[in-house]
Amino acid sequence: MEIDTPSPHANTPLAISVVGAGIMGLWQALTLARRGHRVRLLERSPTPFTESASRYAGAMLAPGCESETAPELRTLGPRGLALWREIYPDLVNAGSLVVAAARDHTELARFEKATEPPRTLDATGIAALEPDLAGRFAKGFYFPDEAHMETPRALAFLLDAIRAAGVAIEFGVWRMPSDNVDVLIDCRGMDAAPDLPTLRGVRGERLLIKSDEIRLSRPVRLLHPRHPLYVVPWSGGHFLVGATVIESQDMGPITVRSALELLGAAYTLHPAFGEAEIVDTGAGIRPAFPDNMPHAEIRDGGQRILVNGAFRHGFLLAPVLAEAVAGHLAQGSPHPLLRT
C-alpha cells in the first residue's frame, strides 16, 4: 500500500538516526543530510563494512538485464542510475553484455522475451564489443545504458560523502536510539527480521579473481539454466565472479560445490580464467522480501521507517528509496517503494 497522507514533518529539519551502514543506510544518511536534516549514522561493526552484506554485491546498475525477473525496474531503475551518475565519478558507464553457450540457446530466447534487449549482437558484434570473447559466442544482447562499479571503492566514497555532508557517524555501536530523535530509519538488514515477518535471508557467494590474460570492459552475464554467472571487471586485472543464490541463512564460508560452479562457469566464459589467481572468496546473507524488491515501511505515524530487502537490487534502488523517504518526510509524497 502506498503512502498518500501528508507527512507530520512537512518542510521541517529533523533529527534523524539511521541505523545500519550498508548500501541502504549510506544512501539514506547522505540524501537526508543533503536535504538539510540533522543526521546520525549508527553501525554495529567497529570497522566500516566488515559485517555488511553490501560488501559482497556485484554493484551492477542494470535495470534492463534485471527486468528479467523484476519488470518494475524498467520504470524505477533509470532513476537509480541517474542518481549514481550525479554523485559518483568512478562509475563505469559501459553497459552490460549477455551471452550463452551454444548448448544454452534456449536461455537466450527466454531472456530476450523477458527483457526486450535494445541491441542484439552476432559473433562479429560481440567481438567488436569485447575482443577477448571473439569466436566464443554466436549471439548476445547488449544493454548500452547500464553501469557498474567496484564495490569497496563505491562504499568508501559514500562514507566520505556522508562525512562531508555533516553526518555524525558512530561505529561499534548497536543500539536503537530513542533520545533526541524525530525519525528513526532502520536499515539493519537481517537484524530487522523480527519487525519484518516476510523478510528472509538468501545466501550469496562470490569470488574475486585476478588474470592478466583477459580483458573485459563491462559486466558479462553468462546465461545457464542452473548456474547463471556474472563477471564484473575491476581495476588491476581483477574480476568479481558471482553469484550463487541459495535459499539459506547459513553464515558459513563459501562451499567447494559453489566455488566449483562459479569457476566452471567462468572457464566457460573464457578458458583464460582457468589460470586466474583466486584473490578472495566470500559468502553473505542478503535480506529479501517475497517479491525480491526492496521497500520502506512507514511505522508509528512516520517516526520509524524500516528500509530493507536489498538482495538483488540494493545498489540500483538504494538512492531511489532514499529519495522516496526524503519526499515522504518533506511532503508526504507517495512512491511505489513506500508501504504501510
Q: Which amino acid is at 266?
A: A
The strand pair at 38-43 and 15-19 is best described as parallel
In whole angstroms, give the CA distance from residue 184 to residue 11.
17
Name residue 306's beta-bridge partners. 186, 297
Cα–Cα distances (Å) from 197 to 193, 318, 339, in that order, read 6, 21, 14
Both 218 and 271 in a single domain?
A: yes
Q: What percent of the chain has pLDDT over 90?
A: 78
First to last CA, the chain: 6
Asked if 21 and 43 touch (Cβ cutoff 8 Å), the reply is: yes
Cα dihedral: 115, 119, 122, 128 (round 10): -130
Q: How far is CA 312 from the centre of its chain?
A: 6
pLDDT score, position 3: 40
In a domain, 87, yes or no: no
Residue 4 in grid coordinates: 498518500
Both 155 and 28 in a single domain?
A: yes
Lowest mean pLDDT among 84-93, 169-178, 276-285, 309-318: 169-178
Mean pLDDT for all residues in the chain: 92
Question: Of 253, 270, 288, at which residue does a domain stop?
Answer: 288
Q: What is the mean pLDDT of residues 103-128?
A: 96
Both 133 and 215 in a single domain?
A: yes
- Range ranked top by mean pLDDT from 69-73, 100-104, 143-147, 264-268: 143-147
- Which residue, 323, 324, 319, is CA-closest to 80? 319
Question: Of 260, 288, 316, at which residue does a domain stop?
Answer: 288
Q: What is the mean pLDDT of residues 315-319?
A: 98
Name residue 149's beta-bridge partners. none
Both 277 and 243 in a single domain?
A: yes
pLDDT for 4 beyond 50: no
Vertex 315: Cα angle to 311 and 319 (nearest 5): 120
pLDDT score, position 223: 93
The residue length of the chain stands at 340
pLDDT for 18 beyond 50: yes
In a domain, 10, yes or no: no
Q: What is the pLDDT of residues 184-204, one digit of tens each?
A: 999 999 999 999 999 999 988
In a domain, 323, yes or no: yes
pLDDT for 33 beyond 50: yes
Both 125 and 43 in a single domain?
A: no
pLDDT for 5 beyond 70: no
Asked if 251 and 236 touch (Cβ cutoff 8 Å), the reply is: no
In a domain, 89, yes or no: no
In a domain, 81, yes or no: no
Both 192 and 204 in a single domain?
A: no
Q: What is the pLDDT of residues 44-96, one digit of tens each?
A: 999 999 888 898 889 999 999 999 999 999 999 999 999 999 999 999 999 99
In whole angstroms, give the CA distance from residue 172 to residue 44.
5
pLDDT score, position 121: 98
Q: What is the mean pLDDT of residues 19-33?
A: 97
Name the domain count of the chain.
2
pLDDT for 8 beyond 60: no
Provide the domain limits for residue 281. Answer: 96-144+200-288
In whole angstroms, give the CA distance from residue 209 to residue 231.
10
User: Which CATH number goes with the domain that contains 21?
Assistant: 3.50.50.60
Please tell me what DSSP assigns to residue 92: B
In a domain, 231, yes or no: yes
Q: How far is CA 212 from the centre of its chain?
A: 27
Q: Is the bond leading into 243 cis (omega within 30 degrees of zero)?
A: yes
Both 155 and 268 in a single domain?
A: no
DSSP 289-316: -TTS--EEEEEGGGTEEEEE--TTTHHH
Banded model confidence at residue 248, pLDDT cuts 50, 70, 90: confident
pLDDT score, position 7: 54
Q: What is the mean pLDDT of residues 12-39?
A: 96
Both 159 and 40 in a single domain?
A: yes
pLDDT for 167 beyond 70: yes
pLDDT score, position 226: 79
pLDDT score, position 205: 87
Q: Which amino acid is at 39?
A: V
Both 188 and 227 in a single domain?
A: no
- Which residue, 21, 18, 8, 15, is CA-closest to 36? 15
**Which are the contacts of 271, defined by CB distance < 8 A and separation ≥ 6?**
none
